[in-house]
């Protein structure tokens, strides 16, 4: 166990030979498992972890190919990523889980929930990527394949990350939290992005997976949060997605880009807390 920022302790779980890193906020209440978006890491959930520690145990995962987790040469299919979460939940004996996702993390959450109904209490889907267009996928892939991968100093690396357009709505606090997971130090002392480029390329190409059967199978309450400035999920698409779940509600998040966790962290924490209380009172 390694001490990192005050929000977390860091752990490594060996899941049938694939080492997955997860962060734990040390809370003792019902469990939340948080799943980041493509190219991000568990550190994106630091604000949520701190906000809910008084009543909830928040666990955030570096999915395979991201952060401090292993980078196996595998398919990076949505189902494969979800199977890692299933193995981790079994290893930690987590039940009554509420999953909180961002972007592709929502698709992984849905796959996990459909396969593990005995472990799930609810889902908070933060600007899901089920409907992301081919054009947006091409833009994302071009951005990642053309950006500089290696930086002489951590300060230069973090400055580049802070200047990314998709992070324009983040406060200094949220930039700092995300930056903790963005880069890893190489043997020569330089710093590189902490995601594996071939891995996230596969993840992006798997976003169009048809998950209709998984969605229909989920009976627990679902909250769909749609950012009003999202380039991934329109209001009509969010409404269509919500209607496909047996038990879901939808809310529009004002003044937010796709990254609700970064643009509106207080709203996300408050709304997640209210959702959890409703689950406990049901």
State the 10-residue block means of pLDDT for the chain, 282 residues long.
Answer: 64 98 95 97 96 96 98 98 98 97 98 98 98 94 96 97 94 93 96 98 96 98 98 96 98 97 97 97 86
Q: Is the sign of the CA dihedral 117, 120, 122, 125 positive or negative?
A: negative
Q: What local confidence, expressed as pLDDT, does residue 7 receive?
A: 77
DSSP strand pairing (150-151 vs 191-193): antiparallel
- State the pTM of this model: 0.96
Report all structural domains of the chain as residue ranges with CATH numbers, in order of start.
Answer: 2-281 (3.40.50.1820)
Tokens representing 201? 């390329």
- Could you give the C-alpha distances from 154 to 180, 183, 190, 191, 230, in angstroms and in order? 10, 8, 8, 6, 30
Q: Which positions ≥6 away from 270 have C-beta within 8 Å? A: none
Rounded to whole angstroms, the Cα distance separating 217 from 249 reads 16
Rounded to whole angstroms, the Cα distance separating 7 from 44 reads 11
Among candidates 51, 49, 77, which has minimal Cα distance to 64?
A: 77
Q: What local confidence, expressed as pLDDT, does residue 21 receive?
A: 98
Q: Which positions ≥6 away from 50 have C-beta within 8 Å? A: 6, 7, 25
Rounded to whole angstroms, the Cα distance separating 282 from 43 reads 31
Q: What local confidence, expressed as pLDDT, does residue 3 receive?
A: 37
Q: What local confidence, expressed as pLDDT, does residue 2 receive?
A: 36
Rounded to whole angstroms, the Cα distance separating 101 from 36 reads 6
- Could you give the C-alpha distances from 218 to 35, 97, 173, 242, in angstroms and in order? 18, 13, 35, 12
Rounded to whole angstroms, the Cα distance separating 178 from 118 reads 32
Tokens representing 246? 């047996």
Tokens representing 67? 């952060």
Rounded to whole angstroms, the Cα distance separating 174 from 277 reads 25
């Amino acid at each position: 166990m390694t001490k990192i920022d005050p929000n977390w302790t860091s752990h490594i779980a060996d899941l049938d030979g694939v080492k997955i890193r997860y962060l734990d906020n040390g809370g003792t209440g019902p469990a939340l498992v948080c799943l980041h978006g493509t190219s991000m890491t568990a550190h994106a959930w630091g604000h949520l972890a701190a906000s809910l520690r008084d009543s909830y145990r928040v666990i955030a995962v570096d999915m395979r190919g991201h952060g401090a987790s292993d980078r196996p040469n595998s398919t990076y299919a949505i189902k494969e990523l979800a199977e890692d979460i299933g193995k981790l939940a079994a290893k930690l004996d987590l039940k009554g889980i509420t999953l909180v996702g961002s972007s592709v993390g929502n698709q992984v959450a849905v796959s996990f929930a459909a396969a593990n109904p005995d472990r799930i209490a609810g889902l908070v889907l933060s600007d899901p990527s089920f409907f992301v267009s081919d054009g947006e996928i091409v833009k994302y892939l071009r951005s990642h394949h053309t950006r500089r991968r290696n930086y002489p100093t951590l300060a230069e690396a973090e400055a580049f990350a802070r200047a990314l357009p998709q992070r324009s709505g983040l406060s200094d606090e949220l930039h700092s939290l995300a930056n903790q997971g963005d880069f890893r130090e190489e043997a020569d002392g330089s710093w590189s992005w902490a995601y594996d480029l071939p891995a996230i390329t596969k993840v992006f190409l798997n976003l169009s997976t048809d998950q209709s059967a998984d969605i229909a199978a989920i009976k627990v309450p679902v909250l769909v949060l749609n950012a009003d400035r999202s380039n991934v999920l329109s209001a009509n698409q969010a409404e269509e997605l919500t209607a496909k779940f047996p038990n879901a509600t939808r809310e529009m998040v004002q003044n937010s880009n796709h990254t609700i966790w970064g643009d509106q962290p207080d709203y996300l924490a408050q709304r997640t807390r209210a959702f959890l209380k409703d689950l406990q009172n049901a």
